Amino acid sequence: MDEALTGKVIAVNGPIVKAVGLTGIKMFDIAEVGADRLIGEVIRLAGEITIIQVYEDNTGLKPGDEVISYGRPLSVLLGPGLIANIYDGIQRPLVGISEVCGSYIKKGIKLSPLDVNKKWDFQPLVKAGDEIREGTIIGEIQESPLVIHRVLVPLGISGRLVNIVNAGAYTIEENIFAIDTTAGLYNGKLATYWPVRKPRPNKNRKKPFVPLITGQRIIDTFFPIARGGTAAIPGGFGTGKTMTQHALAKWCNADIIVYIGCGERGNEMTDVLTDFPKLIDERNGRPLIERTVMIANTSNMPVPAREVSIYTGVTIAEYYRDMGYSVAVMADSTSRWAEALRELSSRLGDMPAEEGFPPYLGTRLAEFYERAGLVETLSGRDGDITIIGAVSPPGGDFSEPVTQHTSRFVRCFWALDKILADARHYPSISWIDSYTEYLTDIEDWWKNLDDKWLITRNDVMNILLEDHRLEQVVKLVGSDALPPSEQYILFCAEIIKNAFLQQNSFDPQDKFCAPEKQLKLLNSLLTLYKKGLELVHNGVSVKNIATQDVVSEIVRLKSEVPNKELTEIDAYMKRLEQTLATLKTSL
């Protein structure tokens, strides 16, 4: 619809605006409201009244102001230039806005999300006369030193390729190719629009089978997530949700990171912006910013834009997934997003459900998390989106609605523990309250490194669970009242917590732990437990084992042994076995 629809504002209630006269307007169409042409979206139609949520500060808006709509849904511009950029919730480039307006965003400002003047070196991969289908990769652009941008035929366009430009430098506004479709000739550019609330299609969904390696031992070994999976990080104030998200964004082995700061503090997004250009990806020696897209919608920005920022981020992720990339989406925090839904629904007069949240909260959360997954793209490649959402329950109460609904839709739950956080135990992921459903899915991948990975993992987890049970007894009667074998379990569990579960994100060797190193550390801990327990059963005291130098050395392996020099752990294992064997012969 090219012809503009015009109407008038009849009521203003915070970010919610009611208008009349917009006959023919559809749900989720974009509307420009008032003299400043504020961006809004149609969220409800009630007879002749159109209800619009405005994504900008609408102070001064009044009844009688004009509303214009061109009949287009809220969409994001997808093309080269997204990487290393930072946007607000409706894909306005914040760096470009700061150059025009300074530190504060001017009302109604509109800038192209992508640089329209920059020329990109385009390499065609098809030739005139080829039959082209939607989603076909027709060319490539080196978008950043880490990312090759694969130019896709827009969805819904198929036919014979009539013309394609030669290799060269082009802007996103120049025609690159022409396709003869049943509806006529289609001229394609490097960039296209896509509605944020509409999932991008694919050929078929697949079962995830490769783990997302994060470098965090408690995640990769005990509560792993598969590429194309979903995870939640719930935790109260100060438990380390944002720091865990930052660590995952920095070190996970996804090709692309989409970081969505939804309703969080501005200084936390500033930390990301200042850290990522300095941080070097260990896999390729390049800055992490060269594979990252950031959506910043901080707590002092308008509430409705929080709600749409989640969709903006996941739509950009789907675009790179369709190129065949593995994409990780970090949403921090979905609780702030849910609070935005609560505020908007209350202004609309909806019937509130538990704790004032709208009845459709679960549906909206499901729509978001269901956009994750491993898929066969329309081009025939495999691509995946992994969604990791932080949840901020008030007071750390996991029984509140957002946490409960989220746990229904995710298969990995990393519960943060306030007691661990207060004890400076990082990451403060509770090994008691957390769970994962991906163990059997990714078991074959780990078996390529170690046939007994799952057995070893379960054995060590059982030590931790037994330790948790014994801690309740110790609180009542003290550890001295326990038999030596149970005292040894407590001792080994403490070693596991310090030597394996706890990780120093500022230590150059410990901030990222490779899977091979994790396996060797795990095996050394299990060796200490099994052989030591045998000695305890034969009469060796727990104190005698604990005071051996080689036993205390195990805690230092994580920070002293580099990921590429694992023979040092093998040498340690031999010394450990020799020491324990010496204790056995001295009986």
The string of pLDDT tens digits covering residues 503-532 is 998 899 999 999 999 999 999 999 999 999
Confidence bin at 587 (pLDDT 50/70/90): low
Q: Is the pLDDT of residue 272 over 50?
A: yes
Whether residues 367 and 244 fall in one domain? yes
481 plus 552 within the same structural domain: yes
End-to-end CA distance of the chain: 89
Q: Is the pLDDT of residue 212 over 80?
A: yes
pLDDT band at 2 (very low <50, low <70, confident <90, very high): low
Is 203 a member of any domain? no
Same domain, 164 and 295: no
Residue 202 lies in a domain: no
DSSP 515-567: HHHHHHHHHHHHHHHHHHHHHHHTT--HHHHHT-HHHHHGGGHHHHS-TT-TH
What is the predicted pLDDT for the residue at 196? 95
- Residue that terminates a domain, selected from 131, 159, 193: 193
Per the rule left: phi > 0, alpha: psi between -120 and 50, beta: everything else, 108 is: left
pLDDT tens-digit readout, 436-477: 999 999 999 999 999 999 999 999 999 999 999 999 999 999
- Specify the length of the chain in residues: 587
Is 101 inside a domain boundary?
no
204 assigned to some structural domain: no
Question: Number of helices and strands (H, E) in the chain?
Answer: 17, 26
Q: What is the 3-state secondary structure (H, E, C) of 336-384?
A: HHHHHHHHHHHHHCCCCCHHHCCCCHHHHHHHHHCCCEEEECCCCCEEE
Mean pLDDT for the stretch of residues 335-353: 91
Domain CATH number, residue 40: 2.40.30.20
Q: What is the mean pLDDT of residues 184-195?
A: 95
Structure tokens at 462: 């059982």
Nearest to 465 by CA among 221, 236, 222, 244: 222
Starting at the edge strand found earlier in the chain, the sheet holding 159-164 runs 131-132, 159-164, 177-181, 184-188
> Which of 391, 406, 439 delimits the end of a domain?
439
What is the pTM assigned to this prediction?
Answer: 0.94
Taking a C-beta distance cutoff of 8 angstroms, is the pair 231, 225 a contact?
Answer: yes
CATH of the domain at 499: 1.10.1140.10
Eight-class DSSP state of 437:
S
In three-state secondary structure terms, 574 is helix
Do 121 and 254 fall into the same domain? Answer: no
CATH code, domain carrying 186:
2.40.50.100
What burial class does residue 102 get, using C-beta atoms within 10 Å of its C-beta: 0-12 exposed, 13-18 middle, 19+ buried? exposed
Whether the pLDDT of residue 1 is over 60: the answer is no
Q: What CATH code is carried by the domain that includes residue 351?
A: 3.40.50.300
Judged against a pLDDT cut of 90, whether residue 64 lies above it is answered with yes
Angle at 11 between CA 7 and CA 16, to 5 degrees: 95
**In a domain? residue 198:** no
pLDDT of residue 39: 94
Between the alpha carbon of residue 487 and those of residues 468, 475, 482, 496, 536, the distances in Å are 13, 14, 6, 14, 10
Do 236 and 416 contact (CB within 8 A), yes or no? yes
Q: Is 123 part of any domain?
A: yes
Domain membership of residue 404 (yes or no) is yes
Surface-to-core class of residue 399, CB atoms within 10 Å of its CB (0-12 exposed, 13-18 middle, 19+ buried): exposed
Q: Is the pLDDT of residue 305 over 90?
A: no
Those residues with Cβ within 8 angstroms of residue 440's Cβ, 6 or more apart along the chain or in another chain: none
- Domain around 502: 453-585
Number of domains in the chain: 4
As a whole-number percent, the residues of the chain with pLDDT over 90 amount to 81
Q: Are residue 348 and residue 419 in the same domain, yes or no?
A: yes
Show which of 164, 193, 222 is a domain's final residue: 193
Burial (Cβ within 10 Å: 0-12, 13-18, ≥19) of residue 224: buried
Query: Within this chain, do residues 123 and 244 fall inside the same structural domain, yes or no?
Result: no
469 domain residue, yes or no: yes
Q: 272 and 126: one domain?
A: no
Domain shared by 232 and 355, yes or no = yes
Phi, psi of 474 (to 5 degrees): -60, -35
CB 283 within 8 A of CB 253: yes
Average pLDDT over every residue of 209-226 = 97
Judgement on whether residues 474 and 513 belong to the same structural domain of the protein: yes
Closest to 439 (Cα-Cα) out of 461, 466, 409:
461
Examine the domain organization and report whether 222 and 352 are in the same domain.
yes
Do 280 and 241 share a structural domain? yes
Q: HSE on the CB side for 420, CA within 13 Å?
A: 22
- How many Å is the maximal CA-CA distance in the chain? 94
What's the mean pLDDT in 217-230? Answer: 98
Within this chain, do residues 336 and 279 fall inside the same structural domain, yes or no? Answer: yes
Q: Considering the chain, what is the average pLDDT of its residues?
A: 93
